[in-house]
Amino acid sequence: MKTLARFAFVALGTLTSAGLAAPAGPEKTAAALRDRILAGSRAAEWVSQITDLAGSRLPGTAGDRAGVAVALSILKGQGFASVRAEKVMVPVWQRGVETGEVLSPAPQKLVLTALGGSVATPEGGLEGEIVRVASLAELAAIGDGARGKIVFIDRPTARTSDGSGYGDAGHVRNSGASAAAKVGAIGLLIRSIGTDPGRIPHTGGMTYEEGVPKIPAAALSWDDAGLLRRLVARGGPVRVRVTLGCRTLPDAESANIVGEVPGREKPDEVVLLGAHLDSWDLGTGALDDAAGCGIVIEAARQIAALSPRPRRTVRVVLFANEEHGLKGGKAYADDHAAELPRHVAALEVDLGQGPPLGLSWNAGTGAEAPLKTIAAVLAPIAADRLLVGDLGGADLAYLLPSGIPNLGLLQDATEYFDYHHTANDTFDRIDPKILDRSTAATAVAAYLLAERPETLERIPEEKRKLPAWLK
C-alpha cells in the first residue's frame, strides 16, 4: 500500500509566489499547465490531509467540523484569496448499533449497514419472514404478500465504466423503504448498491415518502444477499432479525468552504470548481469525495502559479452535505443568487480517482466549439470525450435554473463502486499518478474557461429544470 512518505510532490509554493512563465497563447499555456501537473502535483497530499486529520465527515458530526477546519487550513496555507466558511445548516443522522442474523432455517450472521436516514428498529430488534423481489415493480405487484414481512430487494448493480449501473440501481436504495411500507412490510433489506463481491456493505442516502409509514432500512453485503437469495429459493420460510440503533437529531451548523484565484481582468466573473467535503461514516471518504476536493484545490493552485493569471476568477467551493440532503448546494445558490448571472461555468469533480475521460456538459449549442478546444488539449491524456448531459454533479443542481453552463469531469468508474460508501473508502485506494491526470484535466478546463475572451452560451430555458429526484 502507498504511504504519503513515498510520494514525490512538486513544491510550487503558495499562490502569492512569483509564478510560472507561460508560453504565448491560451492553448499552449494550458498544455504547459497539463504537463507540469502530470510531472507531479500535490493533489494526493490534500486528500491525505482531509482524510487523515478529519476522518469520516458525516454532516453535523465532529468529523464534519474537523473537515471544515482542515479545508480552511489548506486554502489559507496555500494563499487562496477570500478564503471563508459559509454557514450551512445540515441534517444530523447517527448510525448506532447495526446487526443482522438469519434465525431459520439455520442461525447465521448477516453483514449489513443502515441506509442513511433510516429509522431505528424496536430496541430488541425487528424479526420477520423474508419476501424476496427483484425490483420495485415486482414489489408493487405482490399486494398482501409482503404484509407483516421484511422485504428483500435483490437487484444487483452492473459494473460499468461510466457509472450508469449505479444510476440504474439507485432508485431501489432511495425509495425502496416507502415502496415496501405501502404494501404492509415492516422492514427493508436491499442488496448493496455497489459492485464488489464480498462482505462489505454499502451505505447511502434514502428518503421516506410523506404520509407513508417509516420502516427500518439496511443494505446487505453481496455475499449475504446471495445467502438470502439461495435460502428463499430452497423454499420454506426464511426468518431474520435486524437491529438498527440509528436516530435523527436536530439540524447542526456546517459550512461550504470557498477560496479564490482572482481574475486579472474580470474578477467579478467566476468559473466555479466544486467537490463535496462531507462523506459517509463507514470509511474516510477518500474517493467520495476527498479525491474531488484534492483535485479542485490543486487545479486552482496550479492555475494561480501561472503568470499572467487567467482573465476571470477561479473559485473553489467544497460543498457541505452532498451525501445526505444537498444542503450545501442549495445554500450556495441562495447565498450567491445576486452574482449567479456572472458565473460563466461550474464544473464538479465527484467520481473518485478513476482516469479522466473527458467532460460532460449542459450549455447552449454554441458551447460545443470552445469545449472542443479544451478537448484537443486533453487528447494527449485520452481525456477528450465530450458528453452532453444534465448535471456536472449533484451539488450543481440548484444552479441549473440560473442557466450557468454545467460541466462534470468524466472518469473511468469501473472500480469506483467497489469502494464508494463503504469501510474500504480510505486513502489507501488513492494512486497519486492517476489523481494527477484528473487534476491536469480539471486545471486545463478551468483555465481555458476562465481565459477565453467570450463566455460559454448559457443553458437553454428548456434544460434548466430541477431534476425530478431533487423535487
Give, as one character, the DSSP assignment of residue 351: S
Q: How far is CA 399 from CA 82, 88, 336, 347, 387, in A?
A: 21, 17, 10, 11, 19
Other C-beta atoms lying within 10 Å of the C-beta of residue 289? 33
Reduced to 3 states (helix: H, G, I; strand: E, B; else coil), residue 416 is helix
- Per the annotation, the verdict on 322 as an active-site residue is yes
Which of 259, 303, 297 minimizes the C-alpha distance to 275? 297
Q: Which of 322, 323, 348, 451 is catalytic?
A: 322
Is there a cis peptide before residue 201, judged by omega within 30 degrees of 0? no
- Joined together, the cell numbers standing for residue 189 give 433489506
Q: How far is CA 33 from CA 3, 83, 453, in A?
A: 26, 24, 19
d(CA 171, CA 135): 10
d(CA 414, CA 153): 24
Contact 404, 342 (CB under 8 A): no
Residues 352, 358, 363, 365, Cα dihedral to 10°: -160
Other C-beta atoms lying within 10 Å of the C-beta of residue 96? 12
d(CA 101, CA 86): 44
184: left (phi over 0), alpha (psi -120 to 50) or beta: left
Contact 361, 387 (CB under 8 A): yes
d(CA 116, CA 207): 9
227: left (phi over 0), alpha (psi -120 to 50) or beta: alpha
Q: Alpha helix locations (H) across 78-184?
A: 136-141, 164-182
d(CA 412, CA 212): 38
d(CA 52, CA 59): 17
Contact 321, 461 (CB under 8 A): no
DSSP strand E in 116-265: where?
Answer: 126-133, 150-153, 187-191, 217-220, 239-244, 247-261
Active site residues: 322
